[in-house]
Amino acid sequence: MACFKGKKVLIAGLGVSGRAAKEALVSLGAEVAVRDDKLGYFPVAGSIYDMLVLSPGVPPDSEFIKEAKAAGSEIIGELELSYRLCKGRFLAVTGTNGKTTTTSLLGEILKNAGRDAFTVGNIGVPGCAVFKETKDESWLVTEASSFQLETVMEFKPHISAILNITPDHIDRHKNMRNYVNAKANIFMNQDENDYFVVNYDDKQAYSLVPFCRAKSVPFSRAAELPYGAFVRGGMIVFSGENGETMELCGSEELLIPGGHNLENALAAVAASFSAGAGSEVIAETLRSFKGVEHRLEPCGKIGGVSFINDSKGTNPDASIKAIEAVAAPIILIAGGYDKKSRFDDFIDSFNGKVKYMVLLGETAESIGDAAKIKGFSSFAIFKDMEECVGRAYKLAAPGDTVLLSPACASFDMYTDFEERGRHFKECVVRIGE
């Protein structure tokens, strides 16, 4: 573990990860100052720091960060700090979609296999919050976002995974090349003794294989592979390095719906075998895993109308997958913070399944405009979630599903997608009262 005693450190951003980093560094004897523009916390002007630790929401090209770097400060993020503080091995998962589900499933598999496993990172529990509990034999199963991966330096997971790559966060990364490069940082420091789990069916993700020194472990739901995880005859299968093939469970036995969740399960299979988990434990966990909150989460049925919370659908591709997974007819609630995404494919995915769309947030008009161009006119814009849920229920008939899958981030109206999802569920409860 690196020595931080007496080091002058500025924590930039006091969100969940910033607070965890602050507490960890203070406990290690660092001299810690904080900066959070939203809260009005600013350090003393002209202060010189050995290190800046950035929360994911703080862009590394901010002017004060450039000034600190020019003055000789080391610039890292909380993910990098966690790596330097925690004992054990890291298993890191990134991708545009599916990170939380796959990370959660992997954490369950390793715990069921008797490993000392911590599920941390962008999933909500910073690695810095558990570093004192980690041991040499621990596994840090880590969800890593592109924002976190922008600021890694030494971060070296024993197993890395890229689930998929589609356009997202272009408002932050400026273009797709920068976004892909940030994702690729997950394997930047790996070597031939490590593993890289990658989606064989995703051309953008699989094109990164030649740039990675780790052993590639592919997964596919479209092709049978000589090595890796795939589907054969409706069964989830893993083919090992020596050619041995193990059937684990039927794809229809998964409790998490949709083709995208089959991909997440395959990624978890490839990663957990790479971590040394046994086939029986993997199969049992696949059969019992019920998914995560805010991702295709059933929220009950009122008057024959089902409600599903997919607030984690924070980009068009995620919401397309949700629409594909939910049975028609659908009353869709969408809209939110503008990440400069395009919504053409999102509207195309309705394919007769979406009966009506209820919109809110910054992107409501742009989604509506895209719908009009595509010939879909069954939508309306409302000011808040209460109005949207109420309108959606009135439009629904018994057998319909009201699906919240915004295709956008939540920052225009909520702190995060979790707060948005909880508010949706509260609105559903009020309808049933």
Is 94 contained in some domain?
yes
Do 244 and 131 lie in a common domain?
yes
Compute the Cα dihedral for 178, 19, 154, 107 and give only its sign.
negative
The pLDDT, as a whole number, for residue 242 is 86
> Which of 18, 53, 79 corresponds to the end of one domain?
79
Q: Is 328 helix (H, G, I), strand (E, B) or coil?
A: coil
Is the pLDDT assigned to residue 200 strictly greater than 80?
yes
What percent of the chain stands above pLDDT 70? 99
Is 159 contained in some domain?
yes
Dist CA 295 CA 318 (whole Å): 10
Give the pair of three-digit tokens for residue 374. 């595509």
Is 1 contained in some domain?
no
Dist CA 218 CA 227 (whole Å): 7
- Average per-residue pLDDT in the chain? 95
pLDDT tens digits, 379-424:
999 999 999 999 999 999 999 999 999 999 999 999 999 999 999 9
Do 57 and 92 lie in a common domain?
no
Decide: 202 and 259 in contact? Cβ < 8 Å. Answer: no
Do 152 and 69 lie in a common domain?
no
Is 385 contained in some domain?
yes
CATH assignment of the domain containing 365? 3.90.190.20
Nearest to 76 by CA among 54, 50, 108, 46: 54
Is the pLDDT assigned to residue 46 strictly greater than 80?
no
Do 236 and 97 lie in a common domain?
yes
DSSP letter (8 states) at residue 384: S
Is the pLDDT assigned to residue 47 strictly greater than 90?
no
Neighbouring CB atoms inside 10 A of 425's CB total: 20
Give 167's pLDDT tier (boundaries 50, 70, 90): confident
Do 66 and 137 lie in a common domain?
no
pTM of the model: 0.88
Nearest to 391 by CA among 378, 377, 403, 380: 380
Is 3 contained in some domain?
no
* ∠ CA 198-204-209, rounded to 5°: 45
HSE at residue 113, side-chain half, CA atoms within 13 A, is 24
Neighbouring CB atoms inside 10 A of 32's CB total: 21
Do 90 and 216 lie in a common domain?
yes
Do 390 and 282 lie in a common domain?
no
Dist CA 289 CA 339 (whole Å): 32
Is 235 contained in some domain?
yes
> Which of 288, 306, 336 corresponds to the end of one domain?
288
N-term to C-term CA, the chain: 54
The pLDDT, as a whole number, for residue 314 is 95
Is the pLDDT assigned to residue 16 strictly greater than 70?
yes
Is 2 contained in some domain?
no
245-250 and 297-302 strand pairing: unpaired
Q: Which of 44-58, 204-218, 240-254, 357-371 is least confident?
A: 44-58
Give 174's pLDDT tier (boundaries 50, 70, 90): confident
Dist CA 45 CA 63 (whole Å): 14
* ∠ CA 154-21-34, rounded to 5°: 115
Is the pLDDT assigned to residue 171 strictly greater than 70?
yes
Averaged pLDDT for residues 118-143:
97
H-helix or E-strand spanning residue 365: helix 364-373
The pLDDT, as a whole number, for residue 225 is 97
The pLDDT, as a whole number, for residue 178 is 93
Q: What DSSP line would sit under 211-279, residue for residue?
A: G--SEEEEEESSS--SSEEEEETTEEEEE-TTS-EEEEEEGGG-SS-SHHHHHHHHHHHHHHHHTT--H
Is 345 contained in some domain?
yes
pLDDT tens digits, 212-230:
999 999 999 999 999 999 9
> Could you give the number of structural domains in the chain?
3
Give 135's pLDDT tier (boundaries 50, 70, 90): very high
The residue whose two tokens read 């990134």 is 94
Q: Is 113 helix (H, G, I), strand (E, B) or coil?
A: coil
Is the pLDDT assigned to residue 148 strictly greater than 90?
yes
Do 195 and 283 lie in a common domain?
yes
> Which of 62, 79, 96 corresponds to the end of one domain?
79
Give the domain extent around 364: 297-432
Do 425 and 341 lie in a common domain?
yes
Is the pLDDT assigned to residue 357 strictly greater than 80?
yes
pLDDT tens digits, 234-273:
999 999 988 899 999 999 999 999 999 999 999 999 999 9
Give 1's pLDDT tier (boundaries 50, 70, 90): low
The pLDDT, as a whole number, for residue 26 is 97
Close Cβ partners of 258 (under 8 Å, ≥ 6 residues apart): 296, 321, 322, 324, 325
CATH assignment of the domain containing 37? 3.40.50.720
Dist CA 11 CA 45 (whole Å): 15
Averaged pLDDT for residues 166-175:
85
CATH assignment of the domain containing 217? 3.40.1190.10
297-302 and 305-309 strand pairing: antiparallel
Do 373 and 401 lie in a common domain?
yes
Is the pLDDT assigned to residue 20 strictly greater than 70?
yes
Do 21 and 121 lie in a common domain?
no
305-309 and 401-404 strand pairing: parallel
Q: What DSSP line would sit under 389-431, residue for residue?
A: HHHHHHH--TT-EEEE--SSBSTTTSSSHHHHHHHHHHHHHHH
pLDDT tens digits, 311-322:
999 999 999 999
Q: What DSSP line would sit under 152-213, residue for residue?
A: -SS---SEEEE----S--HHHHSSHHHHHHHHHGGGTT--TTSEEEEETT-HHHHTTGGG--
Q: Is 126 left (phi over 0), alpha (psi -120 to 50) or beta?
A: beta
Do 278 and 308 lie in a common domain?
no
